[in-house]
Amino acid sequence: MEKALTITQLNEHINSLLTKDPLLYNLRVQGEVSGFKKHISGHLYFSLKDDNAIIRCVMFKSAAHTLRFVPKDGAHIIAEGYVALYQRDGQVQLYVLSMQKEGEGELFKRYLLLKAKLEDMGYFAQERKRAIPFLPKCIGIVTSSSGAALQDILQIIRRRYPIMDVQLYPVQVQGDLAAKSIADGIKKMNEISSASVLIVGRGGGSIEDLWAFNEPEVASAIFESRIPVISAVGHETDFTIADFVSDLRAPTPSAAAELCTPEYSSLVLQTDSLLERLSSTPKRTLQNKKDRLKMLMHARGLSIVGYSLNENKRSLDNSMQKLHHAVLTQLKMHHANLDSLLKRHTALSLSSILDRGFALIYDENGKLLSSVSGLINEMEVKIQMRDGYAAVRIKHNNCLKRSTNETD
């Protein structure tokens, strides 16, 4: 009679059969996520099911950290991996190495096709990319007015250069109309803005969430922009067509703000250093001449002209004092002018004006209105205040009424 197998031996044999099957060793499975759990270790445990069956799945931390999305119960996914037996429980499991949402595969193919096409057209050529200005006079931002990305950008700019002028063109960054909205925003900023650089982007998300930045019309708007563009789409691992077309790609919106905003305190230190060098150079020159005169006075054969040298020394000392006084006077004037310019710049910056209770009114096309005559009854306008925007509708314009009476 043959010797009986232990349970361990049986499960090991079953597992060896499973792992030798080429179909089960490298396969793709589609189904609905059920019972999803993320363990403290970083491993993911869940099941995949269809209308008639279910299989347990595990995705270890080493593979899970590459995911671009967090699976949720009810999500329909395509998983890639292999089937093996969890020998302790005698349970057949799908060991997932990668996964994607259903439909992402087709989107990725579209992405690769457009990327290859635009590359052939020269959209990504390095020689056409422009340098980002070291000290922009104004930074333009094309993004959602309600997104976290905008707040991250503004926080960095205010910290690094508080008096920087910033102009926002709010757009949709997700959905069917997002690509047109982004492209229009870039074009409008080129028409109406005085910005030296544009930050175009949004926060992270799935490939579907970021898809507007993979559309041809956005790529064309960036390519044709006369203002240098920094793309700031998603997280560091997210790449879109907009990143390749832009003059500079930032891994995050915050990084984009860092890349185009100099540190105000560093500029002040550099200015002080230059002024110090300007002051010290004539001092060193005069001291060198003074030392040389002393050497000549003590040289053999010059005692006869000692009196003349002393007179020259006194004259040189007087000249040195006058030059030193003139240099100090010039330095004080430069410091006073610099302080005056900085105070004027601060007082005239957009953020300072808004902080004093003023507001800006834009028409339906985003154009800044400077007169009440530009307001039309039932017209929708956007009001920018210190802490955000408000959309309002003009119900009655007294200016229009007076003008009508005068005509009558």
- C-alpha neighbours within 13 Å on the C-beta side of residue 359: 12
Burial (CB < 10 A; 0-12, 13-18, 19+), residue 18, is: middle
Residue 354 near residue 360 (C-beta atoms within 8 A): yes
Question: pLDDT at residue 139 above 50?
Answer: yes
> pLDDT tier at 402 (50, 70, 90 boundaries)?
very low
> pLDDT tier at 8 (50, 70, 90 boundaries)?
confident
Q: What is the DSSP letter of 161?
A: -
Residue with tokens 């005559």: 373
The first and second tokens of residue 5, run together, are: 């197998």
**Phi and psi at residue 135, in whole multiples of 5°?**
-130, 85
Strands 380-385 and 360-362: antiparallel
DSSP annotation string for 338-389: HHHHHHHHHHHSHHHHHHTT--EEE-TTSPBP-SGGG--TT-EEEEEETTEE
Q: Which residue has the higher pLDDT, 70 or 351?
A: 70
Question: pLDDT at residue 222 above 80?
Answer: yes
Q: Which residue has the higher pLDDT, 190 or 306?
A: 190
pLDDT at 104: 62
Strands 76-86 and 138-143: unpaired
Question: pLDDT at residue 171 above 80?
Answer: yes
Tell me which residue of 201, 205, 215 sits closest to 260, measured CA to CA: 201
Question: pLDDT at residue 92 above 60?
Answer: yes
Tell me which residue of 264, 238, 263 sits closest to 249, measured CA to CA: 238
The first and second tokens of residue 219, run together, are: 């790529």
Burial (CB < 10 A; 0-12, 13-18, 19+), residue 23, is: exposed
The first and second tokens of residue 369, run together, are: 């209105």
Give CA–CA dist 178/27, Å, rounded.
36
pLDDT average, residue stretch 199-208:
87
Residue 107 near residue 208 (C-beta atoms within 8 A): yes
**Phi and psi at residue 354, in whole multiples of 5°?**
-65, -35
pLDDT at 57: 95
DSSP annotation string for 177-229: THHHHHHHHHHHHHHH---SEEEEEE----TTTTGGGGSHHHHHHHHH-SS-E
Question: pLDDT at residue 332 above 70?
Answer: yes
408 SS3 class:
coil
pLDDT at 216: 96
pLDDT average, residue stretch 47-51:
89
pLDDT average, residue stretch 377-381:
83
Question: pLDDT at residue 267 above 50?
Answer: yes
Residue 394 near residue 378 (C-beta atoms within 8 A): yes
**Phi and psi at residue 56, in whole multiples of 5°?**
-75, 145
Residue 169 near residue 228 (C-beta atoms within 8 A): no
Give CA–CA dist 144/232, Å, rounded.
12
**pLDDT digit string (tens) for 238-264?**
789 999 999 999 999 999 999 999 887
Overall size of the chain counted in residues: 408
> pLDDT tier at 208 (50, 70, 90 boundaries)?
confident
